[in-house]
Amino acid sequence: MPSTIKDIARKLNISVSTVSYALNDGPRSVPAEVKQRVLDVAKELDYRPNRLARSLVTRRTQTVGVVPGVLNPDLVLSPFVQAVLNGILNALEDEHHDVLIFTGMNLRSSHVQVDRLVDGRIDGVIFLPPAPGEDVLALLEQRGFPLVTIASEEADGRVNLSADNAHGAKLAVDHLFQLGHRRIGMIEGLEMHKDAVERRMAFDAAVKAHGIKVQPEWIASGEFTEQGGARAASAILKQRQRPTALFCANDESAFGALLAARTLGLEVPRDLSVVGYDDITIAQQSIPPLTTIRQSVQEMGQAAVEGLLQIVAGKSVSSRTFEPKLVKRSSTSCPPEDIQS
C-alpha cells in the first residue's frame, strides 16, 4: 500500500498540514529544516503525491485544456495546428504542466461545452482557430474562467494572439508586383475564418494600391486545404486569360496550386508564380521550394501558454500581434512576358 502524508507526519511527529505545506510549497511557509526532513522521509517511504488531493489544496490541476477548432473535424491534421500544438506542448513541458485536448465540442450546445471546460479538470483553456461561437467565450468569461484564443476575433478584455495578416498579404502582393506581375489571382481560405477574411481584404487593398485590376474569375476558395487549393487553382488556370501569379491564403492550398499547375502542363515559376502563407516545415521541401509568408506559429503557441498561466496566477495579460516575414524561394520569378496591364 502506498505511503501517505499521514505516514510522513507520524514518523516525524508533526502535523499533517505541516507535511502538506512542505510538499506543496504552501500555502503557509515551513522552516527550511523542517521541509528538508519532510522531503527526506518522503523519499525514504517512497511517497508519491496524490494529484487529486494536491489539486484540492492548491486549487490547481497543473493541466491546460486545448480546443483544436470547430469547423473541420480533421483540423488537427493541419500542419498549422500541429505547429501551434507543438509550441503549446513544449511550453507546458517547460512549466511541468499537462495538456487535455477537448474533442467534439462543436457537436454540443454552448452550455454543455462550457460545463465540460469548467468541470475541474483544467486550470484554463486555449482555443485554436477557429474559436467557438461568441456565446461560449462570453459564458466562460462571465464565470471568470481563464482563456486565451489564437487567431480569433478581437474582443475587449480577451487575450488573443494573431499574425498581422494585413502586412503579410501586402508583402506577398508587393513581391509579385516587384517581379513584374500585373495579373495576380488569389486562392482564399475558409469564409468564416478570421485569417482568411483579413488576408483577402489585405490582398484587395494591395492590388488596388498598385493599380492592378483583378478579374473575379481569378479568385476562388481553397478552404485552407491542399485538395481545395488544387480545385481552386485548376478552375482559375483554365480561364482563357489566366493570371501569371497566385497568392494563396496558406501553404497547403499553395501545394494544391503547384499540383494543379503541373497537371495542366504549367511549369512553376516559368509559367506561374505561387506564394503561400505560414512557412510550414515542408514549404522548403516542395517542388519547387515555396515562396511564402512566415508567421511565428510555434511562438504563438508558446505565448498562449505563457499568457494563460499568467491569467491563472491572477496577472494582467495583453493581446499580441506577431509580425510576418517574406521568405523568397523558387516558386516565384518574373512573369513569362513583360505584362504591364
More confident site: 78 or 252: 252
Tell me the whole-structure pTM to 2 decimals.
Answer: 0.80
Q: Where are the domains of the chain?
A: 5-58, 63-163+297-322, 165-295
Helix axes 297-312, 79-94, angle to 10 degrees: 40
The Cα 144–Cα 292 span in angstroms is: 39
Residue in 254, 252, 215, 253 with CA at minimum distance from that of residue 236: 215
- Topology agreement, domain 63-163+297-322 and domain 165-295: yes
**Topology of the domain covering 165-295:** Rossmann fold (3.40.50)
For residue 163, what are the β-bridge partners? 322
Q: Residues 176-230: pLDDT tens digits?
A: 999 999 999 999 998 878 899 999 999 999 999 999 999 999 999 999 999 999 9
The two most distant CA atoms of the chain are separated, in Å, by 89
State pLDDT tens for residues 282-324: 999 999 999 999 998 899 999 999 999 999 999 999 999 999 9
At residue 341 the predicted structure's pLDDT band, cuts being 50, 70 and 90, is: very low
Residue 43 C-alpha cell reads as: 523519499
- Separation CA 73–CA 71 (nearest Å): 7
Residue 52 has pLDDT above 70, yes or no: no
108-117, 245-254, 331-340: the lowest-pLDDT one: 331-340
- Cα–Cα distance measured from residue 261 to residue 288, given in angstroms and rounded to the nearest whole number: 12
Helix (H) or strand (E) holding 33: helix 32-44
pLDDT at position 233 is 98
pLDDT of residue 228: 96
pLDDT of residue 51: 57
The hierarchical CATH code for the domain 5-58 is 1.10.260.40
User: Options 3.40.50.2300, 3.30.1490.390, 1.10.10.60, 3.60.10.10; which CATH number does 63-163+297-322 get?
Assistant: 3.40.50.2300
- Helical segments of 164-223, H only: 165-179, 194-209
User: Any alpha helices (H) in 182-322, and if so which ranges?
Assistant: 194-209, 226-237, 251-263, 297-312
